[in-house]
Amino acid sequence: MGQPDTRPRQPLCLLWAIPYLLCAAFSHLFNDPVSHASFVWLPSGVAVGAYLLTARRHWPMLMAGLFCAQLILSFLWRGQAATALVFAITAALSSLLAAWTVQRLTPREGDVSFVAALLAGAVAGAASSALLGGGWLWLAHEAHALLRLRNWVSSYLAGVLIMTPALLGLAHFRPRRSGGPRARDLALGAVAYALLIGATFMTFDGDMIRNLPYVVTFELTYLPLVFAVLVALVWGPLGGSLAVVTLAFMVLYQSGQGEGPFVAPDNPWQALLATQAYLAITALLILLVNTLRSARAQSLERAEQWRGRFELALAGSHQLMYRYNPQDGSLELAGDVQAALGAPADAMRDLDALLARAHPDDRSRLSLHWAARRAGTQDMTPLLFRLAHGAGGWRLISDKGSPLADFDGSVAVVAGMWRLGEMEPGTGDVR
């Protein structure tokens, strides 16, 4: 009997129209009070994220849903059927192109290449949106068409860089049953998040910065970035996405009230572009931090998995691995040393400790064997010797290894395997 199909049904992708409409309402609510243009078009990020989280065979249905949502918005805000239709087609095609570009570049999950792929997709989507929408505005002889076109591109880019990573991070988040963040990290992240909110409010509140010099108010804009990066480092990708969304919403709200260091009453379009650039750079910075942190976490997780597999292989084959460093005399053992010898691995941290646990009849041979290895002798003949077991008796061991030369011919390390044999009765006294 085949497995039941647990994949989402195709009509469920139409539900993406709901966050699309909500983000559109939010973006429209906090338009620039002078130019009435959107600082950030968040629905672009929702649409690209929706495509990336939806199977390609469902993209036509998803595109139809997003097209209808944008058609409703454009008709309500523009009032002209032809313009509404063009804008809906533009939004649907540009987001589809952006998502296709990201997938076409096939970035590895958690790899830094995802940042470049997402940026390339955002640029491709913004360019197509500007080409189609801007071309229509030019044909319609709308006022300030070029300025609106520039704002169109920057608001689209900012929306993708803010919302798409947040949606992807939320969709890929899996709570752990154990081994979650420590209480110290939770507290430090909470403090950094609170400082982020406070610094953003202080920087973009008009009453607090009114009497400060322009240079000071501009330099204060770096302060929220520091706390946003700290939140991303401590809380991980989900915390970084939360920091970006929080910062963006606060900046949009304050800028929508005509406040903040970027406000310029004599040049509203320049202030609008500065706000968009600030949010886009912030989103790109946190995305890079999140990606680097995720890549490091995945590398550590893969290394831990390989370590577990290696130790299982050693245990299944009744072997131990060793590594001896002639520079500092340290001896490292890998595998289930406790089960094999009845002692922890650090009980034999050097050759003296190893010789102390060896059978009295084997110590001289073992000492000569290791002296030859430290001298660089390449003798692959296995050596049989006995080591004391912590529970009593002697463990028979077959040692097979060799020294590895450094670039100057000296011995860099001695590595090999101990094949575990049977137990021999005896007191196993290593004193």
DSSP per residue, 191-215: HHHHHHHHHHHHHH-HHHHTTS-HH
- How confident is the model at residue 102, as a pLDDT? 92
Q: How far is Cα 412 from Cα 123, in angstroms, rounded to an integer?
A: 51
> Which range among 45-49, 207-211, 420-424 shows the weakest confidence by mean pLDDT?
207-211
Q: What is the pTM of this model?
A: 0.69
Closest listed residue to residue 248, CA positions, set 275, 269, 217, 229 = 275
Q: What is the mean pLDDT of the chain?
A: 82
- How confident is the model at residue 124, as a pLDDT? 93
Q: How far is Cα 165 from Cα 156, in angstroms, rounded to an integer?
A: 14
**Alpha-carbon torsion (122, 123, 127, 128), positive or negative:** negative
Residue 99 DSSP SS3: helix
Is the pLDDT at 428 greater than 90? The verdict is no
Report the amino acid identity of residue 353.
Answer: A
**Alpha-carbon torsion (231, 237, 239, 245), positive or negative:** positive
The listed range with the strongest mean pLDDT (10-24, 45-59, 291-305) is 45-59
- How confident is the model at residue 425, as a pLDDT? 81
Q: How far is Cα 315 from Cα 308, in angstroms, rounded to an integer?
A: 10
Tell me the mean pLDDT in the region 338-352: 85
The listed range with the strongest mean pLDDT (32-46, 161-175, 281-295) is 281-295
Cβ-based neighbour number of residue 357 at 10 Å: 20
> What size, in residues, is the chain?
431
Query: Is residue 377 within 8 Å of residue 355, measured between CB atoms?
Result: no
Locate 402 and state its tokens.
Answer: 């060799």
- pLDDT tens across 196-253, in order? 999 998 888 766 666 666 667 777 888 899 999 999 988 888 888 899 989 988 888 8
Distance of CA 192 to the CA centre of its chain: 19
Is the pLDDT at 170 greater than 50? The verdict is yes
Query: Is residue 250 within 8 Å of residue 197, measured between CB atoms?
Result: yes
Closest listed residue to residue 96, CA positions, set 160, 165, 173 = 160
Is the pLDDT at 81 greater than 90? The verdict is no
Is the pLDDT at 364 greater than 70? The verdict is yes
Q: How far is Cα 246 from Cα 163, in angstroms, rounded to an integer?
A: 11
Q: How far is Cα 405 from Cα 414, in angstroms, rounded to an integer?
A: 9
- How confident is the model at residue 44, as a pLDDT? 93
Percent of the chain with pLDDT over 70: 85
Locate 275 and state its tokens.
Answer: 């706000």
- pLDDT tens across 401-415, in order? 888 888 777 888 888
- How confident is the model at residue 2, as a pLDDT? 41
Tell me the mean pLDDT in the region 145-161: 79
- How confident is the model at residue 7, as a pLDDT? 45
Tell me the mean pLDDT in the region 166-183: 70
- How confident is the model at residue 144, as a pLDDT? 59
**Alpha-carbon torsion (80, 84, 85, 90), positive or negative:** positive
429 CB-side CA count, 13 A:
2
Report the amino acid identity of residue 294.
Answer: S
Cβ-based neighbour number of residue 192 at 10 Å: 21
Local confidence band at 298 (pLDDT 50, 70, 90 cut-offs): confident
- How confident is the model at residue 1, as a pLDDT? 39
- How confident is the model at residue 6, as a pLDDT? 43
| Domains (range + CATH), the chain | 11-170+181-306 (no CATH), 318-424 (3.30.450.20)
Tell me the mean pLDDT in the region 246-272: 77
Is the pLDDT at 5 greater than 60? The verdict is no
Of 428 and 310, more confident: 310
Is the pLDDT at 257 greater than 80? The verdict is no
Percent of the chain with pLDDT over 90: 18
Is the pLDDT at 431 greater than 50? The verdict is no
